[in-house]
Every structure is written in C-alpha cells, then in structure tokens.
Chains A and B, each alone.
Chain A
Amino acid sequence: MEIVLSAAIGILAASGTWLLLRPRTFQVIVGLCLLSYAVNLFIFSMGRLYVGAPPIMPKGGFVDPTIYADPVPQALVLTAIVISFATTALFLVVMIASRGFTGTDHVDGREGGQ
C-alpha cells in the first residue's frame, strides 16, 4: 500500500510540475490541480496509513489508540482541499479575464516569438 500511494503522489506531483512549466494557461491550471491532489494525498498519508480504523471517538469515549487513525491530518486535508478549490476557481477567473483582454491563452499574454 505504501509503495502504491507514494508512487501515486510522485506521479501526480511530477506531472503537475511538468504541466506548470507549459506556456498555456489551461495546462498551468491543470498542473496546479494535479499538484494540489498530490499534496492532499501527501498530508493524508502523513498521519500514517491505517485500514479500517476510524478517526472519530465513539459515543461513550472509549479509545484504543492502536486501532484509531490520526484525525488531525484528515482535518488539515479538508482545510487544504477547500482552500485549493477556492484559489483554483479564482485563478480561473483571472485567466478567463486575461484571455478576454489579451486575446491569447499564453501565460505571457502574447504568443511566443512576437
């Protein structure tokens, strides 16, 4: 499980980085999305990996720490997802506005070589 998850994070981060370096705004935003998926998985896995272990205490308050998942990274990752969702939406707005003003979807606002 560890190998599969770390490979997934690595592939997502690598593809995201490559797309970020591309000249079109669409590629950049897809790259940013992939990077944020990678970081979300990464935060999640930093609470260590458990199978079938709940993060929330049952009513009555008995907790056996050996069969419970760490709830903090799950809370952190929720925050991170919300924030990256908001910033991605905002970035899209700026991109669309820039496309309207400059007439191109190049990140420099003009086609290369001009």
Chain B
Amino acid sequence: MSHLVIAPILLPAVLAGLILLVARGIALQRLIALAGAAGFLALALLLAGRGGAPVAYHLGNWPAPFGIVLIADGLSVLMLLLLAVVALPVLVYTMASGWDARGRHFHALFLFLLAGLAGAFLTADAFNLFVFFELLLIASYGLMVHGGGAGRLRAGIQYVGFNLVGSTLFLFALATIYAVTGTLNMADLAQKWPLLPPGDQALARVAAVLLLMVFAVKGALVPLQFWLPGTYAAAPGPVAALFAIMTKVGAYAALRLGWLVFDAGPTAGMWAELLQPAALATLALGAVGVLGSRDLPRQAAFAAIGSMGLVFLCVAAATPGATVAALYYLIHSTLAGAALFLVADLAGRRGASGPVAALFMASAIAVAGLPPLSGFLGKILLLQALEAQAPLIWSAVLLASFLTILGFALTGSARFWKARGTAPTAAEPLALAATGLLLAGLVAMTLLAGPLTLWLKGVAEGLADPAPYIAATAPQSGG
C-alpha cells in the first residue's frame, strides 16, 4: 500500500502546524509556505504519473466500509493537479503584493485550506467529505477576513453564516443516507443504493436532494448563490483567486457522487432534472451580474457564478462527452477566474497601468470565452456535448457570453481606457509574472487541447464505469 495517496493532505497540514508553532517572522513563514505549495505540486505530479487506475489508502489499515478510505482516481488527481497549479502562482502573488503581511497567520491558513481541499478531492467516504469540507471552510473563514476592515467582516458574517447552515444541511443529508443504507462509504453506497426497498425510497430521495442543495451552496448555484458576490468582492484579491477553486469543490462532489451513487435506483436522473434549470438560471444571473457591476472584483465574482452555471450545465447532462466538456471548462474557468481576481486586485491597488490593462484584456477574453484562449474551446466542447437540446441551451449560452463580453468591454473602457484620477504606480514585477503564469496556463490549455481532452476522456470514462473504483475500496491482502 502506497502512502503517497495521503501525502497531499499531510504535507500542507503538517507544514501549517509548523508555521504556527515555530515561524514567527514573515520570511520563514513565506519559505515554509512556498516549500509546501511546491511540494504539493510535486506530489500531485507524482500521483498523476501513476496513471488513471484508482489507488486506495486504508487509514489505519481498517477494512472498508468500517474504516475510512482515501482513493486517488483520475478525477481526484486531476483536481489535485489543478489546485496545485493555481495555488503556487497565487501564493507568489500574495508574497509579491505584501497581502500576507497585512494580518497574521495567512500562510498557516493557506496551507490548511490546501489540506482541506486535497482531502475533499481524495476521500472516498461521505462523512469524511463533510469533515474535509469543514476543514477547508474554517481555513477559508480566516482567509476571507484576512486584513480586517468593516466591509470585509460584514461580508464575512454572511459568508460564515450561510456556510454553517450549509454544513447543518450536509449533516441532515448524511444522517438520512445512513438511516436508509447503513453506510457512508461511497463505494459501499454505490452498491446498496440501487437495491433500496420501496419503503425507504422516499427518504432516499429527500437525502439526495438535501445533498444536492449542499453542493449547490458550495458551487453557488441559483438560488443559493447569495453569499458569493459579496464574499468574493470583499475578500483580499489573492484569497478570492484561491476561492475560484473552492466553488469547483461543489461541482467535483456533484460529479463524483452523481456518477457513483445517485444516478441509480430511486434517484436515477433526479439530480440532472433539478440541476439543469438551476444551471441555466445561474448562467443568466452571472451574465447579468457581470453587465451590471461597475467595480472589477464584483464583476469577477459574477463571472465566477456564470462559469459555475456552465460547468453545472454539463454536469446535469451526465454523459461522458458532457463530462469532458465540464472538466475542460472547470479547469479553464478556475485558471481564468483566478487570473481575473488577481488583475482586479492589481488594478485596485496600483491603478490602471499598461501591463495591468494588458493582463485585464487577456483574462477578460479568457473568462468571456472569446478566441484565441481556451474559454472558446471549452464552450465549443460544451455546445457539442449538449447538441441534443440545442435550441434552449445554445441560445442561453451564447446570449450569456454576449452579455459577459459587453460587461467586460464596458468596465474595461471605463477603468483602463479613460482612466481618470491618480496616476497609476508601477505594479510589482513578481505579481505581474504570477498573474501572467496563470494566463500562460490558459495558453497551454489551448495549444495542448488535443492531449488534454484525451486525458479528460479517460477521466470521464473512469467516472462512467465505477467498477475499478469500487474494487479499489475492497481490502487488499498484505497491505
């Protein structure tokens, strides 16, 4: 049994504890955090290098379903890699811009957030998923109010309150699932879910909808998106950039459990039916929000909502082709959204100088899905995958894209072209480079779209055929 699977959770958690215990000065904290993020990237690459077959890690060597199992399969590894690729530039940006010195404990919280996200991506136990959600949320509460200030704390109250209610709902859902199936291990659930007796099916459906609501809160799906715009706009820029991947946890969990457990037995097709209208409404709200907001962070927040609408639209379609599109767009929108939040922060702190304007142009093109960047390819994949419902979905997607472009053109010309007020000061070169690195990731996604979609196809097939995932959970001799 390889201990590599648990390493992406342990490494940041241990380093975060180390920072809290020994690192008083900011320089040492920065060093440890950088080492943590770089090590995390190395671990994600190592896991990706093992190939797509699911690898299980039984904690304490307890056999499943009694013990907790972590599984690194194609989807988990993909999300880990994406997290690592976003986290490193964001961390560099934070250091270059001095955001991390505006309050204490930024780096410890940052590493705890990495540990929580990694755990959520790796766990194969539904209750363990709840625990890692709480870990990442507690870290994110601290990061969200980092730097203080009335506006940030006011938004913080609403963010924390909303998510605490979400956690309570999560517990209600898990308890109901346990009551009808007697297990919370995902692979075990996948086997027991289709065989539920008729008397328990109503309860099972209630639990599935409750769980979907929890993921909708995390993924900012209309009508549960109210916490997002205020939070992301008020959070420090680099933190908002990191949060760009936190909303994707909702999509990840919906993909994982939707394919593995809930598209069978009493709840077959139910999530898809509920998700599609919500995703369309999310897309529309995101586009109108981008058009309606006048400051950049808020606009970036609404763009994040709109991108979740597109991702969930593909998740709802629940075909392997649509899953490939969902994953491609998920990677794209995480990178592009993070870059846009960093640009918004640069423009807010340093004014609209030339390089910042160029970065804004590039990231706005990416977020709106214009050629030549990968948003365009993502949208084409998406439109192809959803061809069956072309009249409704195509017009919604295209109209939303148009509104988004219009919104960015409006703020772009007001903020960067006719920039008035104080003259901009030169931005930190390292901060510009970190933002550019995220955008370079988008360029790479465009150039390597062929191999990337092939890889994603493998991931989607792994989701569609859960047998290896379930087999990996079974206890192995000699572990």
Interface residues of A (CB under 8 A from B): 20, 25, 28, 32, 35-36, 39, 42-43, 46-47, 72-73, 76, 79-80, 83-84, 86-88, 90-91, 94-95, 97-98, 101-102, 107-109
Report the minimal beta-carbon distance from B177 to chain A, rounded to whole angstroms: 9
For chain B, residues 208 to 238, give those with C-beta under 8 angstroms from any C-beta of chain A. Answer: none
Residue among A36, A83, A86, A88 having the largest count of chain B Cβ atoms under 10 Å: A83
Q: Which of chain A's residues has its CB closest to B156's CB?
A: A94
B161 at the interface (CB under 8 A from A): yes
| A46 CA to B184 CA, complexed, in Å | 13
Report the minimal beta-carbon distance from B264 to chain A, rounded to whole angstroms: 22
Q: Judging by beta carbons under 8 Å apart, are A32 and B158 in contact?
A: no
Q: Which of chain B's residues has its CB closest to A40's CB?
A: B171
Main secondary structure of the interface of B (DSSP, over half): helix
Main secondary structure of the interface of A (DSSP, over half): helix
Report the minimal beta-carbon distance from A71 to chain B, rounded to whole angstroms: 11
Report the minimal beta-carbon distance from B399 to chain A, rounded to whole angstroms: 33
Q: Judging by beta carbons under 8 Å apart, are A97 and B145 in contact?
A: yes
Interface residues of B (CB under 8 A from A): 127, 131, 134, 137-138, 141-142, 145, 148-151, 153-154, 156-158, 160-161, 164-165, 167-168, 171-172, 174-176, 178-179, 184
| A91 CA to B134 CA, complexed, in Å | 13
Partner of A43, one of B151, B164, B171: B171
Q: Judging by beta carbons under 8 Å apart, are A39 and B161 in contact?
A: no
Top 8 A-B pairs, shortest CB-CB distance: A109-B154, A98-B153, A46-B179, A101-B150, A43-B175, A46-B175, A39-B171, A102-B150
Query: Which chain A positions have C-beta within 8 A of B153?
Result: 94, 97-98, 101-102, 109
| A19 CA to B154 CA, complexed, in Å | 19
Q: Judging by beta carbons under 8 Å apart, are A94 and B160 in contact?
A: yes
Q: Judging by beta carbons under 8 Å apart, are A35 and B165 in contact?
A: yes
| A87 CA to B168 CA, complexed, in Å | 11
Query: Which chain B positions have C-beta within 8 A of A36?
Result: 168
Q: Which of chain A's residues has its CB closest to B137's CB?
A: A87
Report the minimal beta-carbon distance from B63 to chain A, rounded to whole angstroms: 15
Partner of B178, one of A32, A39, A46, A95: A46
Query: Which chain B positions have C-beta within 8 A of A35?
Result: 165, 168
Report the minimal beta-carbon distance from B17 to chain A, rounded to whole angstroms: 16
Partner of B157, one of A73, A76, A84, A98: A98
Partner of A86, one of B138, B161, B178: B138
Q: Which of chain B's residues has its CB closest to A97's CB?
A: B153
Partner of A108, one of B154, B156, B176, B179: B154
Known contacts A94-B141, A98-B153, A101-B150, A80 near B165 by CB under 8 Å = no
Query: Which chain A positions have C-beta within 8 A of B171?
Result: 39, 42-43, 80
Q: Which of chain A's residues has its CB closest to B150's CB?
A: A101
Q: Judging by beta carbons under 8 Å apart, are B165 and A90 in contact?
A: no
Q: Judging by beta carbons under 8 Å apart, are A39 and B168 in contact?
A: yes
Known: A20-B161, A47-B178, A83-B131. 4 other contacts (CB 8 A): A46-B179, A79-B131, A94-B145, A94-B156
| A79 CA to B362 CA, complexed, in Å | 46
Query: Which chain A positions have C-beta within 8 A of B160?
Result: 87, 90-91, 94
Query: Which chain B positions have C-beta within 8 A of A86?
Result: 138
Report the minimal beta-carbon distance from A30 to chain B, rounded to whole angstroms: 12
Query: Which chain B positions have C-beta within 8 A of A43?
Result: 171, 174-175, 178
Q: Judging by beta carbons under 8 Å apart, are B149 and A101 in contact?
A: yes
Report the minimal beta-carbon distance from A16 to chain B, rounded to whole angstroms: 8
Known contacts A20-B165, A28-B161, A73 near B141 by CB under 8 Å = no
Query: Which chain A positions have C-beta within 8 A of B184?
Result: 76
| A32 CA to B158 CA, complexed, in Å | 13
Query: Which chain B positions have C-beta within 8 A of A42?
Result: 171-172, 175
Q: Judging by beta carbons under 8 Å apart, are B154 and A87 in contact?
A: no
Q: Judging by beta carbons under 8 Å apart, are B167 and A101 in contact?
A: no
Query: Which chain B positions have C-beta within 8 A of A95?
Result: 157
Partner of A87, one of B134, B158, B175: B134
Query: Which chain B positions have C-beta within 8 A of A84?
Result: 167-168
Report the minimal beta-carbon distance from A25 to chain B, rounded to whole angstroms: 6
| A13 CA to B121 CA, complexed, in Å | 31
Q: Judging by beta carbons under 8 Å apart, are A87 and B164 in contact?
A: yes
| A25 CA to B158 CA, complexed, in Å | 10
Could you list some 23 contacts between A and B, CB below 8 A? A25-B157, A35-B168, A39-B171, A46-B176, A46-B179, A73-B175, A76-B175, A76-B178, A83-B131, A83-B134, A83-B167, A87-B134, A87-B164, A91-B157, A91-B161, A94-B156, A94-B157, A94-B160, A101-B149, A101-B150, A102-B154, A107-B158, A107-B161
Report the minimal beta-carbon distance from A5 to chain B, rounded to whole angstroms: 13
Query: Which chain B positions have C-beta within 8 A of A97?
Result: 145, 148, 153
Query: Which chain A positions have C-beta within 8 A of B176?
Result: 46
Query: Which chain A positions have C-beta within 8 A of B172?
Result: 39, 42
Report the minimal beta-carbon distance from B421 to chain A, rounded to whole angstroms: 26
Known contacts A46-B176, A79-B131, A87 near B138 by CB under 8 Å = yes
Q: Which of chain A's residues has its CB closest to B131's CB?
A: A79
Q: Judging by beta carbons under 8 Å apart, are A32 and B161 in contact?
A: yes
